[in-house]
């Protein structure tokens, strides 16, 4: 897609749709979305569709342009008065009333706002909170690693946005961050992870640092009020978005407690093929009831799985699945669709779609407040039995499939008035009709959160699989274990989950993990990506002991290190840097449990200087006798030689020269006696002491 001016000249860079690698069935259509920054002077959009490495015919039915910027925003006018610890604003914009309480909390300004629709008409509202700021020449952070320089001449909005079905745009991270090196300053805007509202965080010259909320009001259905929270706060510009994230955790109580079990998610396993599952990193058994004695014997986490977001039924071969039956993964039961359960479109018709194999998917509402005959009530009645093994003993937890994904019904505008009336979260609105709706990505959260709380009260685990297309940060807080999807997640997805999940265990299904045709370099790449972000690769179809044996050495090399990284806990600020942008660095832990993961993204060996802050990393401690102990010897956990890397003291920083192999990963940790250090020029001591 190319935006053009009236003379046919491009006004911005080409914007690409995500490639479509799956051919739809005859007569079926596929939908693709691109986010286009329309610059001043844009008169038309030119769309190009092409086949790549394929032959055939492509038909385009048309395109819909959905604007996310109106002609102008109407300000609220009112009074701002001082209050204890801050200030309070009360104002109006037409028939909308706003009260906002501002209070200082450390280095942050916390805002709690309440918007009320005082008229009786349905409303679609886009609400902006702006911090006026001239950030020309600052840096906008897209994620933990990527950034872009803000230019007044560009005339654009700076935001990291993901598209959702229905023309919605959301920020995948709950914070947006700007920094500048001189004079050093950093600012962030953030919202709570537990706030289920479609939100965009951005910066635009002339408007400032902004939080934007998509809201809907239906007063005749009792939905005339929305309560929102946000915060603006200072960050350390030296660490970009990492500093904003580090300060976000305590600000919104989002830090993760001590992590739970560490290991990989797996399914469709033959116990005979894996007599030593723990050594191979296996932990979360999706189909534990099929071999419950084996799972318990190895102290694995026994799960059943649930896809509660709608009905899957076969229309071509109805005998395969009973019409109106719940998709049979774990919980298999006859759960017909109650009339009040169906998700409705703008004309009041039930929403459904059909896949190439003839399967129909009918999304439904899982709101627990819809009554005793609702899908949620029927699912609740079955879960008590489903969470028990065949012998009647309880299982350890529940795995939710399809969280956030379009295919599982999480990305649909729901116009059903009973669902709007029952919603505890603020309503959204359709980008197409400008009518209030329950967006199902928010509508399903109440069922998910209540089940998660119930499981935790029973000392059980809630695990969820969040796919790449699911930019739903507000689902993360309710999951004890994060699944990163069922097929080779990208690093961007793993980075996102690690940032939001903090210390939680992350795992994903890697279909090629046990393939006999997997190239050695590709296999090492899977494990090295996993190490950087502390995520356990698992697999489906673990049926052959021979395939396990082919890959056993890598499991036994990487799994113990992954367990140590998870136990130590990832932290956004590494307090260490290397002088080569081609080598990435992440930190886990502190002091003796410190791990620095270095990843060389090139094929050549890179010799880099590692510089770290010993005080911030706990590498200098003072004994009761006033003796400073310095941990100056590091080793690579993945090196067979265990050769020491000695750090040089340079004022308040320590440095070491490190050779990182091409496409390789090193896991550096302070020397410990049980690591059996070899080939040292200095005595094998854990610390060097001085008065």
What pLDDT, in 10s, does the model give residues 357-405?
A: 667 778 899 999 998 888 888 888 878 788 999 999 999 999 999 899 8
Please tell me which residue, 38 or 591, carries the higher pLDDT value. Answer: 591
Q: Higher confidence at residue 514 or residue 472? A: 472
What confidence score (pLDDT) does residue 687 get?
32
Partnered with residue 204 across adjacent β-strands are 157, 208
Higher pLDDT, 492 or 54: 492
C-alpha span between 471 and 466 (Å, rounded): 9
Mean pLDDT across the chain, nearest whole number?
A: 86
Q: Is 246 exposed, middle or buried (0-12, 13-18, 19+ CB in 10 A)?
A: middle
For 343, list phi and psi in degrees, rounded to 5.
-75, 130
Where in the chain are all domains bearing CATH 3.20.20.80? Answer: 264-404+444-571
Mean pLDDT of the 419-440 span = 96
Confidence of residue 17 (pLDDT cuts 50, 70, 90): low
Report the pLDDT value the prediction gives residue 327, as an integer from 0 to 100: 33
Decide: 568 and 561 in contact? Cβ < 8 Å. no
Asked if pLDDT for residue 9 goes beyond 80, the answer is no
SS3 113: strand
% residues pLDDT > 90 (the chain): 61
CATH of span 264-404+444-571:
3.20.20.80
The whole-number pLDDT of residue 15 equals 62
Least confident range of 216-225, 234-243, 515-524, 663-672: 515-524
In a 13 Å sphere around the CA of 655, the CA atoms on its Cβ side amount to: 10
The answer to which of 150-164, 524-538, 555-569, 669-683 has the lowest mean pLDDT is 669-683
Q: How far is CA 492 from the centre of its chain?
A: 9
Q: Which residue, 670, 671, 665, is CA-closest to 558?
A: 665
CATH topology of domain 576-690: Immunoglobulin-like (2.60.40)
- Mean of pLDDT values over 655-676: 84
Contact 367, 376 (CB under 8 A): yes
pLDDT in tens, 583-608: 999 999 999 999 999 999 999 999 99
Q: Cα separation of 464 and 484, whole Å? A: 8
The string of pLDDT tens digits covering residues 242-252 is 999 999 999 99
Question: In terms of Cα–Cα distance, which of 157, 184, 182 is closest to 171?
Answer: 157
For 414-417, the CB contacts below 8 A with 24+ separation are 414/343, 414/344, 414/351, 414/365, 414/438, 414/439, 414/440, 414/443, 415/344, 415/345, 415/346, 415/348, 416/340, 416/342, 416/343, 416/344, 416/365, 417/218, 417/221
* Whether pLDDT at 673 is above 60: no
Residues 133-141, mean pLDDT to the nearest whole number = 96
Question: Is-contact 212 128, C-beta < 8 A?
Answer: yes
Task: Please name the residues in contact with 18: beta carbons below 8 A apart, sequence gap of 6 or more.
Answer: 32, 33
Q: In the predicted model, what is the mean pLDDT of residues 175-194?
A: 97
Question: Which residues of the chain are in CATH 2.60.40 domains?
Answer: 576-690
d(CA 484, CA 524): 19
- What is the pLDDT, as a whole number, of residue 540? 85
Which segment, 263-277, 394-408, 580-594, 642-656, is predicted with the most confidence on average? Answer: 580-594
Question: What pLDDT was estimated at residue 651?
Answer: 79
Q: Is 122 left (phi over 0), alpha (psi -120 to 50) or beta?
A: beta
Summarize the confidence of residues 455-484 as an average pLDDT: 93
Q: 227: Cβ–Cβ under 8 A, 6 or more apart, which residues?
A: 112, 113, 114, 426
**Ranges 1-10, 347-356, 501-510: which has the least confidence:** 1-10
What integer pLDDT is reported at residue 326 of this predicted model?
Answer: 33
Average pLDDT over residues 231-260: 90
């Amino acid at each position: 897609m190319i935006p053009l001016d009236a003379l046919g000249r491009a006004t911005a860079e080409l914007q690409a749709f995500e490639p479509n690698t799956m051919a739809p069935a005859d007569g079926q259509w596929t939908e693709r979305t691109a986010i286009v920054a329309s610059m001043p002077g844009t008169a038309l959009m030119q769309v190009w569709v092409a086949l790549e490495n394929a032959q055939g015919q492509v038909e385009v039915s048309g395109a819909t342009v959905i604007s996310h910027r109106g002609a102008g925003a109407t300000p609220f006018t009112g009074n701002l008065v001082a209050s204890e610890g801050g200030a309070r604003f009360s104002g109006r914009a037409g028939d909308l009333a706003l009260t906002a309480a501002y209070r200082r909390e450390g280095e942050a300004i916390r805002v709690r706002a309440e918007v009320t629709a005082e008229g009786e008409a349905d409303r679609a509202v886009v609400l902006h909170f702006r911090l006026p700021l001239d950030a020309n020449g600052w840096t906008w952070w897209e994620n933990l690693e990527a950034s872009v320089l803000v230019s007044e001449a560009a005339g654009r909005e700076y935001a990291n946005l993901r598209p959702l079905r229905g023309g919605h745009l959301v920020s995948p991270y709950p914070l947006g961050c700007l920094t500048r090196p001189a004079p050093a300053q950093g600012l962030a805007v953030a919202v709570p992870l537990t706030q289920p509202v479609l939100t965009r965080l951005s910066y635009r010259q002339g408007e400032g640092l902004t939080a934007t909320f998509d809201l809907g009001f239906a007063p005749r259905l009792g939905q005339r009020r929305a309560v929102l929270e946000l915060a603006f706060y200072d960050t350390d510009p030296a660490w970009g978005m990492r500093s904003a994230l580090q300060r976000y955790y305590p600000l919104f109580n989002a830090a993760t407690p001590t992590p739970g079990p560490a290991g990989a998610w797996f399914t469709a396993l033959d116990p005979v093929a894996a007599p030593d599952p723990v050594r191979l990193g296996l932990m979360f058994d999706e189909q534990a009831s099929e071999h419950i004695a084996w799972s318990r014997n190895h102290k694995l986490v026994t799960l059943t799985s649930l896809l509660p977001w709608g009905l899957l039924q076969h229309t071509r071969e109805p005998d395969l699945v009973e019409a109106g039956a719940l998709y049979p993964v774990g919980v298999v039961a006859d759960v017909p669709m109650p009339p009040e359960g169906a998700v409705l479109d703008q004309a009041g018709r039930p929403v459904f779609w059909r896949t190439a194999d003839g399967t129909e998917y009918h999304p439904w509402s899982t709101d627990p407040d819809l009554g005793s005959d609702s899908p949620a009530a029927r699912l609740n009645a079955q879960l008590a039995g489903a969470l028990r093994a065949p012998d009647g003993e309880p299982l350890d937890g529940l795995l939710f499939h399809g969280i956030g994904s379009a295919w599982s019904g999480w990305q649909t505008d729901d116009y059903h008035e009973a669902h709007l009336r029952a919603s505890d979260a603020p309503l959204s609105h359709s980008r197409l009709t400008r009518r209030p709706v329950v967006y199902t990505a928010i509508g399903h959260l109440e069922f998910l959160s209540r089940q998660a709380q119930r499981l935790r009260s029973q000392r059980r685990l809630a695990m969820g699989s969040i796919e790449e297309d699911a930019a739903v940060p507000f689902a993360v807080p309710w999951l004890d274990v994060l699944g990163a999807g069922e097929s080779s997640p990208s690093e961007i997805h793993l980075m996102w989950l690690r940032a939001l999940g903090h210390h939680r265990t992350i795992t994903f299904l890697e279909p090629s993990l046990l393939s006999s045709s997997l190239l050695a370099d590709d296999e090492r790449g899977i494990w090295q990506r996993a190490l950087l972000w502390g995520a356990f690769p698992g697999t489906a179809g673990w049926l052959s002991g021979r395939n396990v044996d082919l890959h056993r050495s890598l499991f036994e090399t990487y799994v113990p290190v992954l367990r140590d990284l998870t136990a130590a806990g990832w932290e956004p600020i590494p307090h260490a840097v290397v002088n080569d942008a081609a080598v990435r660095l992440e930190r886990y832990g502190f002091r003796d449990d410190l791990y620095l993961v270095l990843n060389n993204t090139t094929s050549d060996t890179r010799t880099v200087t590692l510089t770290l802050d010993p005080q911030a990393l706990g590498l200098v401690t003072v004994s009761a006798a006033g003796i400073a102990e310095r941990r100056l010897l590091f080793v690579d956990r993945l090196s067979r030689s265990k050769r020491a890397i000695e750090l040089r003291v340079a004022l308040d920083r320590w440095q070491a020269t490190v050779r990182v192999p091409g496409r390789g990963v090193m896991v550096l940790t302070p020397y410990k006696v049980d690591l059996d250090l070899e080939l040292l020029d200095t005595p094998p001591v854990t610390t060097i002491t001085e008065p």
